[in-house]
Amino acid sequence: MNSTVALLMCGPAALLATALLAAVVGRRASATHLIYGAALIISAALFVIAAGHLARNPEAASAITLPLGLPWTGARFRLDGLSAFFLVVVNLGGAIASLYGLGYGRHEATPHRVLPFYPAFLAGMNLVVLANDAFSFLLSWEFMSLASWALVMAHHGDEANRRAGYIYLVMASFGTLALLLAFGTLAGPAGTYVFDAMRTAHPGPYAAGAVLVLMLLGAGSKAGLVPLHAWLPLAHPAAPSHVSALMSGIMTKVAIYGFIRVVFDLLGEPAWWSGVAVLLIGGVTAVLGILHALMEKDLKRLLAYSTIENIGVIFASLGLALAFKANAMPSAAALAFTAALFHVLNHSFFKSLLFFGAGAVLTATGERDMEKLGGLIHRLPVTSFVFLVGCVSISALPPFNGFASEWLVFQAILRSPELPQWGLKVIVPAVGGMLALAAALAAACFVKAFGITFLGRARSAAVERAHEVDRWSLAAMAVLAVFCLLAGIVPGFVLDGLSPVTLSLVGDRMPVQMAEPWLSIVPIAESRSSYNGLLVFAFIAISASLAAFFIHRFASHAVRRGIAWGCGFADAVPAAQYTAASFAQPIRRVFGSFAFRARETVDMPAPGSLDPARIKVDMHDVAWEIFYQPITGAIDFATERLNHLQFLTIRRYLTLVFLYLVILLLVLALWP
Amino acid sequence: MAVILELAVQGAQMFSVLLLAPLLIGFVRKVKARLVRRQGPSVIQPYRDLVRLMRKEVVLADNASWLFRVTPYLIFAATWVAAALVPTFATGLEFSWAADLIVIVALLGSARFFQALAGMDVGTSFGGIGASREVMIASLAEPAMLLIVFSLALVAGATQLSTVAAFMGSPEVGLRVSLGMSLIALVMVAIAENARIPVDNPATHLELTMVHEAMILEYSGRHLAMIELASFLKLLLYMSLISCVFLPWGLGSAGTGAKSLAIGAAAYLGKLAVLAILLAVFETAVAKMRVFRVPDFLGAALMLALLGTLLLFVSRSL
């Protein structure tokens, strides 16, 4: 069955052709519709093909070798269950982002800086997922990184965006370097760069450990694992909003695909400690990511930090799957792995939705700073409703989809007592506590995001002039909101679709879910745990409407409007409302001292003075200070020293050359 | 026929929690009043309050949005569904498998999410202060609750409340230190979640100390009635939870006939009365703590729950 992958390869080719076309016609007024329309059609087609493969014959892998790239290797591409699932994620996200772009792209001041790179970015992500040898994987990966970098730099007039782009470029190069080393280790001395050969050659324990660490560095830096996350909250918000949605919702998933492909597929049997490492990093990432998000007042940066949290949840679940797999508990591993993949899909839905919503707010008001917004629920009724759906979903609240996948993660955690190793037994419940903390903080964070942005009174004149955005954008957001609800109330449908992937990678699958009565999901056994999102949703809907109906019918339905109660001292200025910073203040006081080394200083005027009192909060990104500053400091130091080499006399240069030659010959002579 | 009967039993539980919840609050208030040598209002006063509120008109703040008007019903529905899914007088009811303990906790989380949003809708500082403190308390109470669920699941091998209750009623449980720790942690979480003294004071209207009351300050009429009823239901839910997990004696089971269900109902009422008296005594004996002492209180609950989980591993391997 080579026809499917050949058909799929036409997609990236068509996207690249669209990119070339965009480079030519990008400045024309009609180009926006043309390019996003083409991207929408191609992505939708790719989605249909991949979903069809996943539904019909997921066991069948189809491969193709194209005579591209280096002459003696060629470029190999392959479609199997895992690639098909990630193709579904990439292209569904891509199609909806293109739909959004049809409307949002019209507000773009410099479309020729966005349009050529947008389809190229989509093509890069598709190629990474399909690649079947290290060479084409790395090439596609680097292409994806560069295309997204170009999109981050679309508005390079802004100093902050230039800095974000620079840091992104450095971190992306670092990540690719780590991946290169990982594939080099996997290929071994024979240099077999084809994935099929890597799959059969099992590296020794040290090599496998090295590959795991390198993958955590390489894929982790792209996905945003702490402490490699520093670029992410700078770069993701800098791009146009639909691209931010793609970077946060989809590209991080491509990084996770890379991690899964290498660690679960190519590396063979994992060691149990690899599970510990991934679990701990995932848990810490989840908590720190969401704490940073809570402190943020820029809406898009808040969303980017919350991506870090979700990546942490996914990695923790993957670590759990590794631990179970290493201990030959395939059914538990299947549960944890399915939970991770389900959260991948769910996060792609609600994160795209939220970034689209942030984009709509940006279009309507020109503001990203939440402390200048407020009261938008009156001006943008549809946007605020779908944004609310996204907030509820991402906060892991039933009956929406975020809860369904986090519930599965917790069910997987509850199987940890069966693990034999003491380290794992103790660490898994602790990580479970961290994930629960992250989920609760996420709810707090999105109460803040929605409450400050959409509720309350308008904090600036821009809000009062705001109008609802165009229909394309609203349609894209509405589709995603429906997906969030559907995946939450009938999760069994998705879980059954994932079973071939888990079967091939961890050797078992979850029980068939669609056969359960009333569409509930039962991960292990009904007496143990079960969840029925549909029934919970129906119960809530019915009892809420019944209560409203009876009260309005039999008690009272009178409404009177009045001014809000302000203790007899109504604050007339909207700026005096609770702000993002004041909302986060209690949580900052609880967690800030160790998470950010936060310090508050209150500057009181002297008695009798009429000057205002000031409060100043100092917060530090600890990861930045511990990991990045020493490295940049060392590089600065080294370059400063080496700079002297530019100003030597010719005699000294000759001496240096001579010394170098002597050392080189010595090394060659002494080499065993 | 059997299905109809089972549905009837489930329906009876759903409506009995709804009817009992105000009575429970009335009883707690009465006991508290008697403890400080007051006469106190009648135990059915909460019913009267609810009816009076429902018949009054609603006064909405000028810029209140649709969210503000929908939220009371959502809070009520989510809390009611959660309360109806906790076993009260019998286990294994028709819909008990629709949600396990994690789902029930999360449903309360949904209710709180909307309550905090509604607090911020009008744009007064009271709503903001209440919402921000509430989410701070919740962000510590929820992980503690989840760790309690872990240790219960470790002992009983399930998160399904019917199974947990059946296991805790069986003789193989024995006396375990970690269960004691979980119980203390659960009580601490329940106090915080229900905004009781010492975390919050349900009777205060002093602006600087209120948390829950600050969020709902703008509510009136039928909306306020719904929110009050939901908070009554939440107290009943936590008491049912404590009694079904830690005092599972006398619990009936679906399909075992009317007699066992009647015994279950009588036992349930007895347990509620004991817990209500304990709550009233405790609330009368302690003073409310400062808001920023609450993290210490809940941190202790979190640590107790974690220790309980870890102790289980140790005691199992010995």
Degrees to nearest 5, angle at CA A540 with B19 and A493 = 140
ipTM over 0.90 threshold: yes
Angle between helix axes A471-489 and A330-365 (nearest 10 degrees) is: 160
Chain A residue with Cα closest to B153: A414
- A260 closest CA partner among A343, A351, A341: A341
Instruction: Tell me whether residues A544 and B76 touch, CB distance under 8 A.
Output: yes
Low-confidence ranges of chain B (pLDDT < 70): 1, 205, 207-208, 255, 316-318
Q: Does A578 contact B67 at a Cβ distance shorter than 8 Å?
A: no
Record: contact A437-B139, CB cut-off 8 A: yes
Distance from CA of A592 to the nearest CA of B (A): 13
Of A388, A398, A586, the CB nearest to B107: A398
Contacts of B107 in chain A (CB under 8 A): 398, 536
Of B80, B123, B295, the CB nearest to A456: B123
pLDDT of A34 reads: 93
**Residues of chain B positioned with their CB less than 8 A from the CB of A576:** 125
3-state secondary structure of B127: helix
Shortest Cα distance, chain A CAs vs residue B37, angstroms:
32
User: For A266-289, what is the mean pLDDT?
Assistant: 92
Query: Mutate which of A401, A447, A567 to test chain B, going by most B C-beta atoms within 10 A?
Result: A447
In chain B, which residue's Cα lies nearest the Cα of A374?
B123
- Mean pLDDT, to the nearest integer, of A393-399? 93
Verify whether the Cβ–Cβ distance B59 to A562 is below 8 Å: yes
Helix (H, G, I), strand (E, B) or coil at A453: helix
Token look-up 């669609």 returns A514
Is the Cβ of A418 closer than 8 Å to some Cβ of chain B? no
Rounded-to-integer distance, Cα A250 and Cα A547, Å: 41
> How would you class A242 by CB atoms within 10 Å of its CB: exposed for 0-12, middle for 13-18, buried for 19 or more?
buried
Which of B33, B38, B28, B42 lies closest to B280, judged by CA?
B28
Asked if A452's CB is within 8 angstroms of B97's CB, the reply is: no
Q: Is A572 on the interface with B (CB under 8 A)?
A: no
Q: What is the mean pLDDT of chain A?
A: 91
d(CA B30, CA B38): 9
Contact A455 B67 (CB under 8 A): yes
Look at strands B90-91 and B252-253 and give their pairing: parallel
Per-residue model confidence (pLDDT) at position B283: 92
Shortest distance between the Cα of B251 and any Cα of chain A, in A, equals 17
Residue carrying structure tokens 């929406």: A400
> Two tokens at B57?
């008109």
A 276-305: CB under 8 A from B? none
Whether residue A491 has a cis bond before it, omega within 30° of 0: no
pLDDT at residue B316, as a whole number:
63
Provide the token pair at A565. 């109660």
For residue B54, list chain A residues with Cβ-Cβ distance below 8 A.
551, 555-556
Q: What is the DSSP letter of A298?
A: B
CB-CB neighbors (< 8 A) of A374 in chain B: 123
* DSSP strand pairing (B58-61 vs B90-91): unpaired
Q: Which residues of A touch B291 (CB under 8 A)?
A: 586
Residues 6+ apart with CB under 8 A from B86: B104, B161, B237, B240, B241, B244
A259 vs B: CB within 8 A: no
Query: For residue A194, what is the DSSP state?
Result: B
CA distance B281 to chain A (A): 30
CB contacts of A559 in chain B (<8 Å) are: 57-58, 60
Round the average pLDDT of chain B to a whole number and report it.
89
Backbone angles phi, psi at A620, to 5 degrees: -125, 145
For residue B56, give the chain A residue with the closest CA.
Answer: A556
Q: How far apart are CA B198 and CA B188, in angstroms?
A: 10
Q: Do B81 and A566 touch (CB under 8 A)?
A: no
In one letter, which amino acid is A6? A
Closest CA to A182 of A167, A156, A203, A163: A203
Determine, for residues B135 and A447 on separate chains, whether the beta-carbon distance falls below 8 Å.
yes
User: B77 vs A551: CB contact, 8 Å cut-off?
Assistant: no
CB contact under 8 Å between B142 and A520, yes or no, is: no
Q: What is the pLDDT of residue B318?
A: 47
Identity (one letter) of the amino acid at A65?
T
Closest alpha carbon within chain B to A545: B73
Residues of A (456-485) whose Cβ lies below 8 Å from B: 456-457
C-beta separation of A151 from A243 below 8 A: yes
For residues A143 and A19, is the Cβ–Cβ distance under 8 A? no
φ, ψ of residue B60 to 5 degrees: the values are -100, 145
To test the contact with chain A by mutation, choose from B124, B149, B164, B207 the residue with the greatest count of A C-beta atoms within 10 A, namely B124
A575 to chain B, any CB pair closer than 8 A? The answer is no
Let me know the angle formed at the C-alpha of A534 by A348 and B71, rounded to the nearest 5 degrees: 80
- Report the candidate in A445, A440, A406 with the shortest Cα–Cα distance to residue A316: A406
A581 touches chain B (CB under 8 A): no
> Rounded to a whole number, what is the distance in Å from the CA of A281 to chain B's nearest CA?
19
Asked whether B232 and B22 are in contact (CB, 8 A), the reply is yes
Q: How far apart are CA A248 and CA A251, in angstroms?
A: 6
* Chain A residue with the nearest C-alpha to that of B158: A528
Q: Alpha helices of A551-603 — where are they, by DSSP H?
A: 580-595
pLDDT tens-digit map of A60-103? 788 888 888 777 778 889 998 999 999 999 999 999 999 999 99
Q: Collect all residues of chain B within an 8 Å Cβ-Cβ radius of residue A553.
A: none
Q: Which residues contact B249 (CB under 8 A, 6 or more apart)?
A: B169, B267
| pTM for the full predicted model | 0.95
Give the chain A residue whose CA is nearest to the CA of B54.
A555
Give CA–CA dist B105/B114, Å, rounded.
15
Closest by CA to A80, choosing from A117, A132, A127, is A132
Residues of B in contact with A397 (CB under 8 A): 106, 109-110, 113
How far apart are alpha carbons A610 and A628 in whole angstroms? 43
Provide the 10 A C-beta neighbour count for residue B49.
18
Binary contact (B143, A556; C-beta < 8 A):
no
Q: How confident is the model at residue A575 (pLDDT cuts 50, 70, 90)?
A: confident
* Residues on chain A touching B122 (C-beta within 8 angstroms): 456, 564
Q: Is the pLDDT of residue A175 over 90?
A: yes
Cα angle A592, B197, B81 (rounded to 5 degrees) comes to: 85
Q: B140 contacts in A (CB within 8 Å)?
A: 437, 440, 590
Distances (CA, A) of A306 to A311, B142, B218: 9, 19, 31
CB contact under 8 A, A536 and B55: no
- CA pair distance A477, A360, nearest whole angstrom: 10
Question: A-B interface: how many C-beta pairs under 8 angstroms?
Answer: 262
E-assigned strands of chain B? 58-61, 90-91, 252-253
Whether residue A220 contacts residue A230, with contact meaning beta carbons closer than 8 Å, is answered with no
Q: Is the pLDDT at A518 greater than 80, yes or no?
A: no
Instruction: Give the model confidence (pLDDT) of A215-231 as tens digits.
Output: 999 999 999 998 899 89
Using only C-alpha atoms, chain A has a radius of gyration, in whole angstroms, of 26
- Cβ atoms B119, B202 nearer than 8 A: no
Residue at B232: amino acid letter: F
Domain that holds residue B33: 2-317
pLDDT at A1 over 60: no
Cα separation, A252 vs A307, whole angstroms: 9
> Using CB atoms, which residue from A396, A582, A589 is nearest to B128?
A582
Closest-CA distance, A184 to chain B, in angstroms, reads: 41
Q: Are A106 and A470 in contact (CB under 8 A)?
A: yes
CA-closest candidate to residue B105, choices B271, B253, B245? B245
pLDDT digits (tens, 9 = 90+) for B97-132: 888 899 999 999 999 999 999 999 998 888 899 999
Task: Find the closest chain B residue to A585 by CA distance.
Answer: B132
Query: Smallest Cβ distance to B116: which of A437, A447, A566?
Result: A447
Does the structure show a pLDDT above 80 at A572?
no
Are A337 and A415 spatial neighbours (Cβ–Cβ below 8 Å)? no
Residues B118/A577/A446/A543 CA torsion (nearest 10 deg): 0
B108 with B82: CB under 8 angstroms?
yes
Q: How far apart, in whole angstroms, are the C-alpha atoms of residue B279 and residue B271?
A: 12
* Nearest partner of A462 among A371, A528, A394, judged by Cα: A371
Closest CA to B75 of B236, B218, B223: B223
CB of A417 within 8 Å of a chain B CB? The answer is yes
Strand partners, B91: B253
Question: Are A478 and A360 a contacting pair, CB within 8 Å?
Answer: no
How many domains in chain B? 1
Q: List the structure tokens of A584.
A: 């986060």
Average pLDDT in the A142-167 region?
Answer: 93
What is the rounded distance in angstroms from the CA atom of residue A198 to the CA atom of residue A213? Answer: 17
Q: What's the burial of B184, exposed, middle or buried (CB within 10 Å: 0-12/13-18/19+)?
A: middle
- A206 reaches B (C-beta below 8 A): no
d(CA B23, CA B25): 5
CB contact under 8 A, A547 and B73: yes
A433 and B217 within 8 Å at the Cβ level: the answer is no
DSSP 8-state code for residue A369 = B
Which CA distances in Å does A469 have to A300, A363, A466, A473?
Answer: 18, 7, 9, 7
Tell which phi-psi region holds residue A396, choosing left (phi > 0), alpha (psi between -120 and 50) or beta. left
